[in-house]
Amino acid sequence: MALSAPPYILCFFLLFMLLLCSSTAQAQRNISLGSSLTAANNNLSSWESPSSDFAFGFQQIGKDGFLLAVWFNKIPERTIVWSANGENLVQEGSTVELTKLGLVLQDPNRNQIWTSGLSGTDVAYGAMLDTGNLVLANHNSANLWESFKEPTDTLLVGQTLSQNMTLVARYSETNYSSGRYHFVLQLDGNLVLYTRNFPLNTSNFAYWETNTHNGIQLIYNQSGYMYLEAKNGTILHMLSSNGTNATQDFYQRAILEYDGVFRQYVYPKTNDQRSSGWNMAWTQLSASIPSNICLQILNKIGGGACGYNSYCMLGSDQRPSCHCPDGYTFIDPYDEMKGCKQTFEAQSCDVDSEDADHFTFNSMLNADWPECDLEYFQKVDENWCRKACLGNCFCVAAVFRDGDCWMKRSPLSNGKVDPNDGGKALIKLRRDNSTSKAGGIDARKKDQSTMVLLGSVLSSSVFLNALLGAAFLVLFRFGQKAKVIKHKQFLPEMNLHIFTYAQLEAATSGFKELLGRGAFASVFKGVLAFDDNQCLVAVKRLEHTVKESEQEFKAEVTAIGRTNHKNLVQLIGFCNEGLHRLLIYAYMRNGSLSSFLFGPSKPNWHLRVEIALGTARGLFYLHEECSTQILHCDIKPQNILLDDSYTARISDFGLAKILKTEQTRTTTGIRGTKGYVAPEWFRNMPVTAKVDVYSYGILLLELICCRRNVEENVKDEAHMILADWAYDCYAGRELEFLVENDNEALQDMKKVEKYVMIALWCIQEDPSLRPTMKKVMLMLEGTVEVSVPPNPTSFMSSI
């Protein structure tokens, strides 16, 4: 009968069967005994919840191995909400099996790595529920084990944290082993955030608590509210006050993040809103717990939220980030919470040493390192404080505030920047830029390895032969093949890599994602793989039409490659192949200052001050501290990039100079951008470093006022050119107008005035009246007084 049926009916029948099968598969979510999953590179098998919102299985963590986990399954971001073996990732071929004894995770050699731990009980089946709870049940459908009862760092809607249960922060964003913080509902009814006595699993220092005595459970209810409840059901403490993000429209989670902050996130379920990703749920950002961890962790023992010799600062996104003061670098750039190390040799304590003369200070406003005081003096002035610290070989920094002087000992701890503190920290630095003795030896060792490496690849490359100049021998570390490049060599110091055009073409997927385009170059996003690491880069492709000499390109690359400053974008390498000229820079996640400053969410005043300072420091470095002076010639917000911690990093420096020779010969070839260009470009006057000072002045005004120098849509025509308006406001003593509606700036009018004055000095038409970048920097930092600036245009009228 079936045979005689027309073929299409057969097809329908098969299709129907298929649909039936898949729909029963949808409903049949019981995981039966003996089921197993295997960790494999390209095999995404998992056990999904009926709605597919959650799944359980293996997730690959970089090249480190596999994590047995539960995750949000329908969103592109991998968001893990529970994991079994964060401390102990397993390799490909490992399996998890559901047995009568529960879930058992085995490595490829059948060693047991983890088990859900149910001795002697009879598991009948398991299920991944739509709530995100993974359960194991017996024949009576009674839950014997639930992932909700053994949380890692995340709570989901419907999950409760009962007494004695703990959330442990992971070590870093991508390292799932236990980190430095935990969150516990204690048996005494108090809900507490602790620093962990890493690597031990004990509590160290409580940095937030509800101070309750009868809390019985922390509830995350269906409306997205989170609160601590007493036995009789009364709410003792509300953790999240905003439950408007209904669970039917939003995915939700609350997590103790690796930075020690407990945050609640929501993610829209509908596709059209997807692009926004996970957002903080609490409308008041201050509702993250604690609101500013930088100020909260203050313990006599330990380094604080960011480790020793570093400081913690809240970014404009209200997230804490760790930074090293000038003269210090991260011990491990991949683990910024590990603290910083000095890059120079410490001051000698020998009696007749004149070492003190070799030290100076960099000042940092609002910074402090409490809990490491060496000495304390009152009723002194800043100069006295500086001298006292210079004269004490144990003093590594001093904090000066209103006549009080605290000398600080090494290592600095609990570092923070808090605009409410006021005062300034003076960081002691070795004046000459020589690094420590140890560093010197390291450098020599590296040079030797460079030469060996060089020798081995030399014969194969024409370009390398061209670089035979002795200077290049010590400057470059060659790695024609990616394999040769170790990731350590890839990071901070001046290690330029040479790439082939093909490598860069692959890294950018054929120059697909354009980040920006200028007159002479286009910039593309790319990914470079080095050993185990993937690294985002910005690849700048110079246009073929600009054909400067080979020699000059190399000289410039050398000059840029030699630069190393935290306020410059780091050049990683280059490609010089036929007509192809490309420069490879570190990728800056937070984009350009332009989009930030003129975008919808403006940076706060204190961050703008930091950016102004950082940019000034970077320019000062280019002008005065590099072996060859580098003029930027195109300072503007588009060329100031912001790194992960919103530190200003100047980009495009030196490149302007590469293009210079050809461009300056033509009278119309003004380099730079309208509105930021110094007048001497138009006037047949010598072009010096002062052109950058001019552009910086304009940038500084834009930073102060959060608006562009030229704004055509303004109510009052007199406000169209910011530089003119700013001078009018200054002369008329009505600077408040410049920072209207900016409460933070309005409360800091003294600094606003000082910064406007500095900017007015910078934009003097007469280049000789403009200060050097060094002086600008010292004025911004407050080391040098700012005198009354003349009208910037008075020079023009005298010509």
By beta-carbon proximity to ligand NAG, the closer residue of 28 and 273 is 28
To the nearest whole angstrom, how small is the minimum distance from the Cβ of residue 562 to ligand NAG?
A: 10
- 124 binds ligand NAG per the rule CB under 6 A: yes
What is the distance between the alpha carbons of residues 284 and 298, in angstroms, rounded to a whole number?
Answer: 25
By beta-carbon proximity to ligand NAG, the closer residue of 141 and 449 is 141
Q: Which of 66, 71, 171, 478 binds ligand NAG (CB under 6 A)?
A: 171
- 223 binds ligand NAG per the rule CB under 6 A: yes
Q: Whose structure tokens read 């004490």?
A: 392
Q: What is the DSSP string of 549-599?
A: -HHHHHHHHHHHHH---TTBPPEEEEEEETTEEEEEEE--TT-BHHHHHSS
To the nearest whole angstrom, how small is the minimum distance from the Cβ of residue 254 to ligand NAG?
A: 14
By beta-carbon proximity to ligand NAG, the closer residue of 439 and 516 is 439
By beta-carbon proximity to ligand NAG, the closer residue of 421 and 447 is 447
- 30 binds ligand NAG per the rule CB under 6 A: yes
- 28 binds ligand NAG per the rule CB under 6 A: yes
| Candidate segments 36-44, 169-177, 592-600, 719-727, binder of ligand NAG by CB under 6 A | 169-177
| Candidate segments 24-32, 306-314, 630-638, 738-746, binder of ligand NAG by CB under 6 A | 24-32
To the nearest whole angstrom, how small is the minimum distance from the Cβ of residue 532 to ligand NAG?
A: 10
To the nearest whole angstrom, how small is the minimum distance from the Cβ of residue 749 to ligand NAG?
A: 36
What is the distance between the alpha carbons of residues 663 and 657, in angstroms, rounded to a whole number?
Answer: 10
Contact 676, 703 (CB under 8 A): no
Say if residue 771 is preceded by a cis peptide, omega within 30 of 0.
Answer: no
- 175 binds ligand NAG per the rule CB under 6 A: yes
By beta-carbon proximity to ligand NAG, the closer residue of 603 and 618 is 618
Phi, psi at 136, each rounded to 5°:
-120, 130
What is the distance between the alpha carbons of residues 439 and 435, in angstroms, rounded to a whole number?
Answer: 6
By beta-carbon proximity to ligand NAG, the closer residue of 432 and 644 is 432
Span between the terminal Cα atoms of the chain, in Å: 106
Q: Which of 141, 201, 234, 465 binds ligand NAG (CB under 6 A)?
A: 141
Helix (H, G, I), strand (E, B) or coil at 401: strand
- 203 binds ligand NAG per the rule CB under 6 A: no
What is the distance between the alpha carbons of residues 264 and 225, in angstroms, rounded to a whole number?
Answer: 10
- Read off the DSSP letter of residue 274: G
To the nearest whole angstrom, how small is the minimum distance from the Cβ of residue 47 to ligand NAG?
A: 13
Work out whether strand 178-185 and strand 191-196 pair parallel, antiparallel, or are unpaired: antiparallel
Q: How far is CA 130 from the centre of its chain?
A: 34
To the nearest whole angstrom, how small is the minimum distance from the Cβ of residue 319 to ligand NAG?
A: 21
By beta-carbon proximity to ligand NAG, the closer residue of 360 and 791 is 360
What is the distance between the alpha carbons of residues 653 and 322, in angstroms, rounded to a whole number?
Answer: 26
- 91 binds ligand NAG per the rule CB under 6 A: no
Interacting positions 591-630 with ligand NAG (CB under 6 A): 625
Interacting positions 61-90 with ligand NAG (CB under 6 A): 64, 89
To the nearest whole angstrom, how small is the minimum distance from the Cβ of residue 336 to ligand NAG?
A: 13
By beta-carbon proximity to ligand NAG, the closer residue of 63 and 274 is 63
Q: Which of 60, 177, 343, 663 binds ligand NAG (CB under 6 A)?
A: 177
Q: How many CA atoms lie within 13 A of 672 on its CB side?
A: 25
To the nearest whole angstrom, how small is the minimum distance from the Cβ of residue 225 to ligand NAG?
A: 4
By beta-carbon proximity to ligand NAG, the closer residue of 533 and 793 is 533
Catalytic residue among 153, 634, 652, 742: 634
Q: Which of 51, 201, 222, 284 binds ligand NAG (CB under 6 A)?
A: 222
- 221 binds ligand NAG per the rule CB under 6 A: yes
To the nearest whole angstrom, how small is the minimum distance from the Cβ of residue 418 to ligand NAG?
A: 28
What is the distance between the alpha carbons of residues 473 and 450, in angstroms, rounded to a whole number?
Answer: 8
Question: Can you list the pairs that 315-318 forms with residues at least 24 positions away whose Cβ atoms lie under 8 Å?
Answer: 315/607, 315/645, 315/646, 316/601, 316/603, 316/604, 316/607, 316/646, 318/285, 318/286, 318/288, 318/291
- 282 binds ligand NAG per the rule CB under 6 A: no
How large is the angle between the packed helices 773-781 and 605-620, nearest 10 degrees?
Answer: 150
| Candidate segments 27-35, 552-560, 609-617, 731-739, binder of ligand NAG by CB under 6 A | 27-35
> How long is the chain?
799
Interacting positions 424-443 with ligand NAG (CB under 6 A): 432-434
- 51 binds ligand NAG per the rule CB under 6 A: no
- 252 binds ligand NAG per the rule CB under 6 A: no
| Candidate segments 104-112, 201-209, 222-230, 306-314, binder of ligand NAG by CB under 6 A | 222-230
For residue 313, the one-letter residue type is M
To the nearest whole angstrom, how small is the minimum distance from the Cβ of residue 226 to ligand NAG?
A: 9
Q: How many CA atoms lie within 13 A of 627 on its CB side?
A: 9
What is the distance between the alpha carbons of residues 637 and 574, in angstroms, rounded to a whole number?
Answer: 25
To the nearest whole angstrom, how small is the minimum distance from the Cβ of residue 433 to ligand NAG?
A: 4
By beta-carbon proximity to ligand NAG, the closer residue of 157 and 658 is 157
766 is catalytic: no
Site size toward ligand NAG, by CB under 6 A:
22
> Torsion-angle region of residue 554: left (phi > 0), alpha (psi -120 to 50) or beta?
alpha
By beta-carbon proximity to ligand NAG, the closer residue of 52 and 222 is 222
Interacting positions 648-677 with ligand NAG (CB under 6 A): none
For residue 615, the one-letter residue type is T
- 125 binds ligand NAG per the rule CB under 6 A: yes
Q: Which residues contact 778 (CB under 8 A, 6 or more apart)?
A: 784
439-477 b/e (C-beta count within 10 Å ≥ 16 → b) = beeeeeeeeeebeebbeeeeeeeeebeebeeeebeebbb
Q: Which residues contact 216 (CB under 8 A, 6 or more apart)?
A: 162, 163, 189, 229, 230, 231
Binding site for ligand NAG (CB under 6 A): 28-30, 64, 89, 124-125, 139, 141, 171, 175, 177, 221-223, 225, 235, 243, 432-434, 625
Q: Which residues are annotated as catalytic? A: 634
